[in-house]
Amino acid sequence: ISTLGFGCRRREKMAMGLTRAFLFLFFIMQTAWAQHSPLEVIGVVDGVAYLGPRLQTQTSYHQIHWRRNNLVKIASRDSKGKVWYTNSSYKGRLELFPNNTLKISCLQKNDSSMYQVYLEDEVGKEHIENILLTVYELVPKPTVNAKVIRGDSTWCKATLECSVGLEGVTYEWIPPSKLRLEDAGASEQHVSFDPLMETYTCKVSNPVSSNSASLTYRHPCSWTGTTCSAHMKWQNSGGMGCKVALALEGPQGSGDDPEDSESLQG
């Protein structure tokens, strides 16, 4: 029995040792992943971006410097606290704060890049962090257009087009809203709607803003555009435009067998 107990305790110790080893390895891998996974910062053209390292401690580093793509040094602070800005393309647009955060003002589209901050202590050991900056333009008002393929008193088929001339945007066509009832469970309803007019809205967005425009259908097959509001936001990329083909049946019904509507991404 004692021999069996000794063997059991030995296996338990071995298991605990392996567990500690795996936990240590997991911690090392997680730390390495965190160091190599860049922070992501989003900015808007003509706006401001703050690139701040993860490591925010009270440690006073001997010197620090910022680079772009690990090649071009753009800002540095020496051991005496003197700050230098060394790249002419950022002239007048950089500010290095005491906590090592780099501020970039008057953002340009081509400021989008990977940036590195090098934090060096008194013995020459460096801590390096990567920060990815992506600069977007504000989404302008979309251009919308309707091309009538077929239109008569009973049937309207058209292609709705929407574009803003920007890359990295998402297009969304919002169809006419469904009629909302006051109380779906009531025995009587009061409704009011116009079956001869419907509005289709194109919403275009990117991580910093959105904008929209609408096309209004009127029987039998005419279309007019309207302006919608723009929205700023901070938080799918598509192409340069979007179009959708659709067919609408007139209020009196159709004697033809209509074709199925289809969506085309462009």
In angstroms, rounded to a whole number, what is the distance separating the alpha carbons of residues 26 and 230?
47
> What's the DSSP call for residue 221?
T
Distances in Å between the Cα of 39 and the Cα atoms of 54, 116, 175 are 8, 10, 38
Tell me the pLDDT tens digit for each residue of 207-225. 999 999 999 999 888 999 8
pLDDT for the residue 61 = 82
In angstroms, rounded to a whole number, what is the distance separating the alpha carbons of residues 207 and 201?
20
Q: Which domains does the chain have, with CATH numbers?
A: 37-136 (2.60.40.10), 143-178+193-265 (no CATH)
Closest CA to 41 of 99, 102, 128, 95: 102
Q: If pLDDT is split at 50, 70 and 90, which confidence band does 191 have?
A: low
In angstroms, rounded to a whole number, what is the distance separating the alpha carbons of residues 97 and 131?
16
pLDDT for the residue 238 = 36
Amino acid identity of 19?
Answer: T
HSE-CB of 266 using CA atoms within 13 angstroms: 15
Would you say 50 and 41 are in contact if contact means Cβ atoms under 8 Å apart?
yes
Q: Kindly provide the residue ranges of all beta strands, DSSP E only, lying in 102-249, ordered along the sequence.
A: 102-104, 113-120, 126-136, 143-151, 155-163, 170-174, 197-206, 209-218, 222-227, 231-232, 241-249
pLDDT at 161 > cutoff 80: yes
Q: First and final CA of the chain: distance in angstroms?
A: 77
pLDDT for the residue 101 = 95
Mean pLDDT of 148-165: 88
pLDDT for the residue 253 = 40
> What's the DSSP call for residue 60?
-
Give one word for 155, left, alpha or beta, with left for phi > 0 and alpha for psi -120 to 50: beta
pLDDT at 103 > cutoff 90: yes
Phi, psi angles (nearest 5°) of residue 34: -65, -35
pLDDT for the residue 237 = 33
User: 0.75 exceeded by the pTM?
Assistant: no
Tell me the pLDDT tens digit for each residue of 8-67. 566 556 555 554 554 555 444 444 444 568 899 999 999 999 999 987 655 678 899 999
Mean pLDDT of 123-152: 92
Distances in Å between the Cα of 212 and the Cα atoms of 73, 189, 244 are 41, 33, 15
> What's the chain's average pLDDT?
77
Give the other-Cβ count within 10 Å of 146's Cβ. 21
pLDDT for the residue 155 = 86
pLDDT at 186 > cutoff 80: no
